[in-house]
Amino acid sequence: MQLVKSFGLALLGATLLCAPAFAAPVEVRIASHVSAFSPLHAQSELFAAEIEKRLPGQFVFKLFPGGQLGKEKDLMTNVQAGSIEMINVASGVMKLDKKLGVFDLPWLFTDRDHVKRAMKAGLEDAIRTRIEEVGKLKVIGVYENGFRHVINTERAVKEPFDLEGLKIRISGGKFRQGVFQQMGATPQKVSWGETFTALQSGVVDGAEAATYGFYEQKHFEVAKHLSLTGHVYTPSFLLASNKFYDSLSDKQKKAFAEAGKAITDAAYEMSASLETKYFEEMKGKLQINKVDLDAFKKATEKSYDQYVKSQGDDYLMIIRNATN
């Protein structure tokens, strides 16, 4: 009897040793400075769902949109320090390095298809490498924040001189600031969350942003004109801290890289769909007008000379070669 009991205990021990270890899923926070109305939030959802398909049960993604874990600058600092696993941000990435300021140049892309062609032609790989080198973080995906337009309380902006004297709330780096100065506007630094009040009180006359930004902040309630300038196209960047990424197994790293690229087309489609939806919902609440693009391009040509002189033209060559 004792022999049987001993054998049974030995068998149980061997079974336990051979049983697979079911580790608890790893919690991954993805934070963003923009709201759940944004394409960035939709991209984070797409990525989380794609990882669940590839690595079921291994991760639990918790999304924190709307600056819940900090403003864009703070999120960048925290992901670099490894105190947050992942973030999805936009203009803040351009501040890592002046060369990335190419995305602040005006009318860089003709449309979304041009963006996609340029990215596939080598632009995405080039900026991924640059961001990882200067930012000390891991680029999981490059998607879309959107084309930026101008909203204001004073008049329809159809040609460059229509911006003369207007105080415009502007984000982005020095190249974008310079573009508006060339057209006679006065760039203003105002917190995004305070822009509605600034428009209402006259502290600023207008603002430039992606379509979803105007919609989510209800700027159409205080501004009269939305001018479809499309002056800047801003990508979005799904980033991971090196600390978190290095903690992943080789299989998990492969899945993250593949998932990041796999959702790219869906991310662009989602961005276009959201933009159309928000335009439709703002129609009738303010006047929406098209602009004379050729006049704007001519007025801001010097922006390119300044960029090329200091940063070279390698990114621009990729973009220009992908025009058609």
- The size of the chain, in residues, is 324
- Beta-strand ranges (E) seen in 98-172 are 137-142, 146-152, 167-169
4 pLDDT above the threshold of 70: no
pLDDT category of residue 193 using cuts at 50, 70 and 90: confident
Residue 145 forms part of a structural domain: yes
pLDDT category of residue 30 using cuts at 50, 70 and 90: very high
Helical segments of the chain, H only: 2-18, 39-54, 72-81, 91-94, 112-118, 124-135, 174-182, 195-201, 211-216, 242-246, 250-262, 264-282, 293-299, 302-311, 314-321
Q: What is the pLDDT of residue 179?
A: 84
* pLDDT above 70: percentage of residues in the chain: 93
Side chain identity at residue 18, one-letter code: C
Q: What is the pLDDT of residue 17?
A: 45
pLDDT category of residue 301 using cuts at 50, 70 and 90: confident
Residue 206, sorted as left (phi over 0), alpha (psi -120 to 50) or beta, turns out to be: beta
Residue 35 forms part of a structural domain: yes
Residue 10 forms part of a structural domain: no
pLDDT single digits (tens) 232-242: 999 999 999 99
pLDDT category of residue 172 using cuts at 50, 70 and 90: low
Q: What is the pLDDT of residue 13?
A: 46
Range of the domain at 118: 25-321
Enter the pTM of the model. 0.89
Side chain identity at residue 189, one-letter code: K
14 pLDDT above the threshold of 60: no
CA contacts within 13 A on the Cβ side of 320: 7
Instruction: State how many domains the chain has.
Output: 1
pLDDT single digits (tens) 260-270: 999 999 999 99
Q: What is the pLDDT of residue 182?
A: 86
**Any idea what DSSP says for residue 286?**
B
- Determine whether 225 is exposed, middle or buried from the number of CB atoms within 10 Å of its CB (0-12, 13-18, 19+): buried
Residue 12 forms part of a structural domain: no
Residue 4 forms part of a structural domain: no
pLDDT single digits (tens) 80-103: 999 999 999 998 998 899 999 899
Dist CA 135 CA 139 (whole Å): 10
Q: What is the pLDDT of residue 306?
A: 86
CATH of the domain at 295: 3.40.190.170
Residue 192 forms part of a structural domain: yes
**Among 91, 112, 110, CA closest to 177:** 91
Q: What is the pLDDT of residue 19?
A: 40
Mean pLDDT of the chain: 91
Residue 193 forms part of a structural domain: yes
Tokens representing residue 59 in the block: 């991760």
Q: What is the pLDDT of residue 22?
A: 61
